[in-house]
Structure formats: structure tokens, C-alpha cells
Amino acid sequence: MGNHVSDHRHCCCRSGLRWYRRHRYRYRQDPVRRVPGHVRSVVLLRSSRSRLTMHTSLRTLAAALIMGGSALASAANDGQARANELLNSSPEYRQTWTKVVQKEERLPEWVLNLSGTSEQMTAVTEDGDPYLVGPLCETTDTCKSKRLIVAFSLDKEDAYAMLVEVPAGLPADKSPTRHATYRYLGKPDEGMKQLLNEQLRKDPNWY
């Protein structure tokens, strides 16, 4: 008996869908006419399923946005650290940075060790991934001529940097942008290069 009822419903469902597909355009133009009951049930069922799927998708999207916001909030808290403190704060930071600089030549010690003076890092995103970004200088006095912009991924697995050098003693009326040289570390892509340059331009004395 149960199988018979199931087969009957399945048959009605299929026939109802065929009827609806044949006549849906006509009934859209003439809403006064009634759709047969078994067809209306099938159409309403399909509509309910569509709404349920859309509702589930929206809930999934909202959850993803909340998780992304939480990740950035966590990154902002981590951003209370400074670039010159990272290598001593976690072995993962040191391991990742070592991979970045181990094959580079003629880098000063303060770059190799991320030592010197630095400002508080900030949390940003690049291509959907969160990073901690901040400047580093050997000393406050030498920051005008040499500085490093550092970016670490939140999972501590990737690191990039941009070493910026300006001729020492450049007159104040000369634009440092026009005389600077840039050296990228960690093989950043164009998006990451842009992020590092944006961090550099936050300095009001950089023009």
C-alpha cells in the first residue's frame, strides 16, 4: 500500500510538472484562471524549495562574513605588535622570514633580523587574505633614507617586504619618490606590491 501511494505521488508530480511547463506562460498572462490542484502543489513545492535554498545560501554568506570579520578583528589585536618584535614572539614568524631572506644578497643585518625601530602594525586584506603590515627602520634618524615595509599573513606562512632606499642627504625640496629605489623580498605579486606601496604612502613626508 505504501509503495502504491508513493508511486501515485511520484506519477502526479511528474505529470504535474509536465503540465506546468506546457501552460506556465499562458497562466502567467491570465492569472484569473485556476491551475489544477495537483499542479499547484508541485509548483508551490518547487517554489518553497527555491526559497529554502536561497535562505540557506544567505545564512552561509552571512556566516562567512562574520568569520572574516572575526579574523580581521583578531589580526587587529595582533597588530598591537611591531615588526621588530615578530621574530621573537613566534618561531613560525622566524621560520617564514628566514625563507624569505636566506637566498637574498647584500641585505643589512637589521633587515635580516627585523631589528631596529618600528611603528605599530595594522591589519589589512589582500585578495581576501588578512595580513599584518608595518614599517621598520634601523634607527629613527636613518628612516628617511632607508626603511622596510613588512607584511606577514595572519597564518604566519607567508611574508613579503619592500626595502626602500633614498640617497642620504637628499635636499628637503626634492621628492623622495623620484629618487627612491625599491627592492621587493618574498616575490610579491602585483596586488601585494600595491599594498606595500600604499603602506609607504601613509607617511606624510613621503611625496
Domain of 52 in residue numbering reads as 2-76
Same domain as 62, residue 133: no
Same domain as 193, residue 123: yes
For the record, the C-alpha cell of 166 comes out as 633614498
Q: Do the Cβ atoms of 86 and 114 come closer than 8 Å?
A: yes
Q: Does the structure show a pLDDT above 70 at 171?
A: yes
Residue 207 lies in a domain: no
Same domain as 157, residue 175: yes
**Of 21, 52, 76, which residue is a domain's last?**
76
Q: What is the pLDDT of residues 86-124, one digit of tens each?
A: 999 999 999 999 999 999 999 999 999 999 999 999 999
Contacts of 158 (CB under 8 A, 6+ apart): 96, 152, 186
Is pTM beyond 0.95? Reply is no
Q: What is the pLDDT of residues 39-73, one digit of tens each?
A: 444 444 455 555 544 555 556 444 444 444 444 44
How far does CA 38 lie from the centroid of its chain? 49
Task: Share the mean pLDDT of the chain.
Answer: 76
Same domain as 64, residue 147: no
pLDDT of amino acid 22: 58
For residue 176, name the pLDDT band (cuts at 50, 70, 90).
confident
